[in-house]
Structure 1
Amino acid sequence: MRLRHIEVFNAIMLTGSVSAAARTIHVTQPAVSRILQHAELQLGFALFQRVGGRLLPTVEAQTLYPHVERLFSQLDEVQRLSDNLRAGRSQGELRVLTVLAMSYEVLPRAMRLFRQKHPTLVVHHQALHSPQIVSSLVLQEADVGFVFSAAPHPALSAEALGAHPVVCVAPKGMLPARVLRSGQVTLAQLAGLPLIALDARDPLGMLLAHSTRDSDAGLEVVMTVQTYHVALALAHHAVGVTLIDACTAVSADPARVDVLPLAPAIGVPVQALRPTARPHSQTVRQFTRCMQQALQEVGVSPE
């Protein structure tokens, strides 16, 4: 199939008719019909059947379509990257991405420090999941991103900023007094308590899932969540105990929950990611140092 064939095929799959597809891709209806016929002739099988005034995809078309969707997604990424390259960068702006856990306490602290040196520079921030941050940086839609334990990517450079400890957040009265007096908690001491677990696809969630499985502590998971602050909120409402990062735990209400470090300690790496195709500006380096200082303020130990 040629690219024009694929464009027409995709448009018909999305709209369900030749006329609507023609409007979508800004060509005439006869042109769409001719291109579709030519595509089917080259392929040697029909892509659509006309039923009740609409074109219904054949089994072959349904088999092809997921591959076409991926192709258009890649073409969209090429367009976004070319747009970003054409637009260039404004010297008076900085585009920063962080995972949600760093957006509540760490980022504001870093911004306070950064604005002391750059009071007129505008910072654009987005809180995203780690895969989204990697994708945006690869497409050069941001200058720097801050994540927990991201997988290496050839288009990105990674700088280790430290390791943040995992802590246990428990509703008041849920942990025994002797555990509170010890100042730390083990996984075995959480056995039998309702546990709010993190999504196993999350970097911290994956690490904790391996640790709890290896410990054979018999933890009772009652709920899984995707974001750390949701886990904290559920602990605030006495739904159960949770294991989260130290950055998020800074927002814990000491009147409602107890926060104890996990023993033995589990540390999760914090990284700054930057596109390798772009020179690392002094502004990005200075913001990264401010983020590192803010991370240390909330209990992340330096590398």
Structure 2
Amino acid sequence: MARINSRQVEAFRATMLTGSVTDAAALMAVTQPAVSRLLRDFQALLKMKLFEKRGTGLVPTAAATALYMEVERSFVGLERITAAAEEIRSRRTGTLRIAALPALSNGYLPRLAGRFLRERPNLNLSFFGVISPIVVDWVLNNQCDIGFAEVPIAHVGLSIVRLPAPPRVAVLPEGHRLAAKAMLEPRDFEGETFVSLTTGSTGRHLIDQAFNRDDVRRVLRVETSLSEIMCGLVSSGVGVAICDPFTAREFESRGVIARRFTPRIDFEFAAVFPPQRSPSPVALDLVEAMRQALDDIDGPMPGLSPVHP
């Protein structure tokens, strides 16, 4: 048997769907004689009669009805492929695997990711909140499509995109004497019990540098590697701290008051991608969504506790 032409099959399907050669021609955006010729050749190749003429229309034979069921299965498969390609092109399908440092994963990034998913109903998400070194390790080992980690990131080969860095803020327990001020500076903390980040961390170095520059003496009683623990300790009244704005915002309804702090100490982080392969398009879309959201933040994070006279 000679090879069947795909246009012949398309003409057959269009005629079955519409019930007439004229309507089939309109559906295919070709002339009526072209459809008639395609049907004639198709029947000749198959050596079977597919339609009977009745009045001005065509009635499919039993053979045509049986054949149409097979043809429709093929077209449904093709339509699924087309739809899948459109989903991929629109970056709305598949699974995006994210790992993010706790400061982002404790509230801010999940909310942003939720809005991101609502615009992509066929996108699935795997989301992990881990400390920055583990974020980098998972990305290096292709366990995630994208990671968000605090900088500096000392790994050659990783693709890194720096994101806008909001300033760190001062966090105080409710009722603290410093809550009356809208802006705090190092000298305000003279003699205060202070909850510090772990020795050796970038944030600890920058914060200590700001206080040492003004020769301010704090009571360094507690240190921790996690900002959630820091804010939990502050909420208990054990001391005050300088914290990333994302975690401070999460604790504002949990016994913590946030205030702006000068000199500005940025909380710097970046998106990181696995080595030796191009970043996922949908991952790049998420980075752009995050960049826009952070660009909308003018100065410190919105939602800082109001100052009551």
| Normalised TM-score (structure 2) | 0.62
2:6 aligns with none
Contact 1:166 1:265 in 2 (8 A): yes
2:130 aligns with 128
Change beyond 3 A, Cα 1:249–1:296 = farther
2:107 aligns with 105
1:192 aligns with 191
2:234 aligns with 235
Which structure has more RCO (C-alpha within 8 Å, separation ≥ 6)? 1
SS of 1:250's equivalent in the other structure is helix
Q: Give 1:197 shift.
A: 0.7
Q: Could you list the per-position Cα deviations for residues 15-44 of structure 1 after superposition, in whole angstroms to 9, with x for gaps in the alignment?
A: xxxxxxxxxxxxxxxxxxxxxxxxxxxxxx
SS of 1:207's equivalent in the other structure is helix
Any residues of structure 2 matched to 1:1-303 within 5 Å, and which? 92-176=94-178, 180-181=180-181, 183-253=182-252, 256-296=255-295
Letter of the 2:232 partner, please give it.
A
Q: Give 1:294 shift.
A: 4.3
Aligned mates of 1:115, 1:133 — CA distance in 2: 22
Contact 2:210 2:263 in 1 (8 A): no
Q: Could you list the per-position Cα deviations for residues 96-136 of structure 1 after superposition, in whole angstroms to 9, with x for gaps in the alignment?
A: 11000101222122212211222121111111111111111
Contact 1:165 1:265 in 2 (8 A): yes
Q: Which segment drifts farther, 288-297 or 231-240?
A: 288-297
Consecutive unaligned residues of structure 2, counting only runs of 5 or more, are 1-92, 302-309
Q: Give 1:301 shift.
A: 7.4
Q: Give 1:175 shift.
A: 2.5
Q: Give 1:139 shift.
A: 1.2
RMSD: 2.3
Letter of the 2:117 partner, please give it.
R
Q: Give 1:209 shift.
A: 2.9
Contact 2:97 2:144 in 1 (8 A): yes
Aligned mates of 2:190, 2:111 — CA distance in 1: 36
Aligned mates of 2:297, 2:247 — CA distance in 1: 9
Aligned mates of 1:107, 1:192 — CA distance in 2: 35
Letter of the 1:142 partner, please give it.
C
SS of 1:162's equivalent in the other structure is coil
Contact 2:186 2:211 in 1 (8 A): yes
Change beyond 3 A, Cα 1:138–1:256 = closer
2:88 aligns with none
Q: Which segment drifts farther, 98-107 or 245-254?
A: 245-254
1:28 aligns with none
SS of 1:164's equivalent in the other structure is coil
2:14 aligns with none
Q: Give 1:176 shift.
A: 4.2
Q: Give 1:254 shift.
A: 5.2
Aligned mates of 1:236, 1:193 — CA distance in 2: 15
Change beyond 3 A, Cα 1:98–1:255 = closer
Aligned mates of 2:148, 2:254 — CA distance in 1: 31
Change beyond 3 A, Cα 1:102–1:295 = farther
Contact 1:169 1:242 in 2 (8 A): yes
| Normalised TM-score (structure 1) | 0.63
Contact 1:106 1:294 in 2 (8 A): no
Letter of the 2:145 partner, please give it.
D
Aligned mates of 1:216, 1:240 — CA distance in 2: 19
Letter of the 1:101 partner, please give it.
A
- Compare CA radii of gyration and give the structure with the larger one: 2
Consecutive unaligned residues of structure 1, counting only runs of 5 or more, are 1-90
Aligned length: 209
Q: Which segment drifts farther, 258-267 or 201-210?
A: 201-210
Percent of pairs identical after alignment?
24
Aligned mates of 1:166, 1:257 — CA distance in 2: 15
Q: Could you list the per-position Cα deviations for residues 204-229 of structure 1 after superposition, in whole angstroms to 9, with x for gaps in the alignment?
A: 22322333333321111110011001
Q: Give 1:297 shift.
A: 6.2
Aligned mates of 1:243, 1:176 — CA distance in 2: 13
Q: Give 1:298 shift.
A: 6.5
Aligned mates of 1:215, 1:149 — CA distance in 2: 26
